[in-house]
Amino acid sequence: MNEPAPGPGWILLRGLVREARHWEGFPERLAQVLQQPARAVDLPGNGVLWREASPTHIDGMVDALRRELNAAGSRGPHRVLAISLGGMVALRWAQRFPDEVECLVLINSSLRGTAPFYQRLRPRQYPRLLMALLLPLSHERRELAILRMTTRLQSDLHGVAKRYARWQREAPVGKANLVRQLLGAARGFPVPQELPGLPALVLTSKADRMVSWHCSRRIAERWGWPLQCHPNGGHDLPIDDPEWVVEAIRQWLSESGLTGRTQQPGGKRHQGEADERSGESTQAKADTQPKQ
């Protein structure tokens, strides 16, 4: 189910060539713990929208997402949880349309202009990523190669790869859309100096093989957002340790006074057009260990 429910709730955004089903049971678990609606939404070129052309700019992805939500009658303001490329889309959405985003949770994301390219995608993964995504491999071999880059705590990689391969056959992400999504991520967007009044939590993993955790640290420091680090999870933290992610969000909402709070549409909380403003916050919380 990809259609978001009308009214405020959590919108979940995936990363490069991933779709809503790759959250597995995470949205249901998040909704259960927080007692708030949580729905995963696909970006063009992925999942139920696999026939559409992926935008080559982050702004185009934001515009497509807003059209999809508006068509479903979901006006917001939304709480947004996003990973990797989805985090770029979420942050740009909050920047451009502050009335529509109540708060953010960013997982293992990165931004052009805040971290060097070799941290945004680790160089040792360049050949592996190109081989996995561009060579004529079977769906299962390709998904297995991707999982070996993005996960660390999976006990049944072959079983997961088989399931993901079936999804890829059902909703194939074409090479043209892969290139378009990569181009959009590489281009990025004008990063604001300030996002006053926007509550956000940054989650990362120090063992991420794809993206250096320092990218998340720099995001947290730039806007004074709390940072929590998982010591041994992979890039896809919601799959590697979903309970840790859910508990981190629950604690943050409680400590921030956001639990049960509903932002009314139209109520301004932060400035969306902050590209040319100056100033930088630099305090992030200490690492948090996962539950045993």
Per-residue confidence (pLDDT) for residue 261, from 0 to 100: 55
> pLDDT for 30-50, tens place per residue?
999 999 999 999 999 999 999
pLDDT of residue 284: 37
What counts of helices (H) and strands (E) characterise the chain? Answer: 11, 6
Which sequence spans correspond to the domains of the chain? 10-120+173-256
As a whole number of angstroms, the distance between CA 19 and CA 11 comes to 13
The reported pTM is: 0.86
When the pLDDT of each residue in the chain is averaged and rounded to a whole number, the result is 86
Contact partners, residue 154, CB within 8 Å, separation at least 6: 147, 160, 239, 240
Distances in whole angstroms, Cα of residue 24 to Cα of each of 19, 21, 40, 85: 10, 6, 10, 18
pLDDT in tens, 63-105: 999 999 999 888 889 999 999 999 999 999 999 999 999 999 9
Q: Which CATH number fits domain 10-120+173-256: 3.20.20.80, 3.40.50.150, 3.50.50.60, 3.40.50.1820?
A: 3.40.50.1820
Contacts of 96-99 with C-beta under 8 Å, sequence gap 24+, read 96/59, 96/62, 96/272, 96/273, 97/62, 97/66, 97/272, 98/198, 98/268, 98/269, 98/270, 98/271, 98/272, 99/265, 99/266, 99/267, 99/268, 99/269
**pLDDT at 147 (0 to 100):** 94
Instruction: Please report the pLDDT score of residue 41 as a whole number.
Output: 97
More confident residue, 122 or 79: 79
